[in-house]
Amino acid sequence: MFSSRATDETESEVSSHVEIQVVDGNVEKAIKVLKRKLQQEGLFREMKLRRFYEKPSVKRKRKEKEALRRLRKKMRMMKRRER
């Protein structure tokens, strides 16, 4: 069994525990599954963002822009479901 802990030091997010099981000794497939899960959690994106210091004003604007993008996506999905 292979496990990894993905933690974020911000107060708003809760740390999570990711656990991947290796089936029939197929480690390559387990690594692919792990990478996919970490990608979905946004770990790689978070690492990229934390590579350099981000000023609080820039961080706030980025978060607002991301929230607006999520809202637009949600509205698109709701429109599709109405059809």
- pLDDT tens string, the chain, 83 residues long: the values are 454 454 444 444 556 687 888 989 899 999 999 999 999 999 999 999 999 999 999 999 999 999 999 999 999 999 999 87
Q: What length is written for the chain? A: 83
In whole angstroms, give the CA distance from residue 72 to residue 42.
Answer: 19
Structural domain containing residue 60: 53-83
Cα distance between the two ends of the chain: 45
Give the pLDDT score at 19: 84
- Is the same domain home to 46 and 60? no
**Number of domains making up the chain:** 2
- Is the same domain home to 39 and 71? no
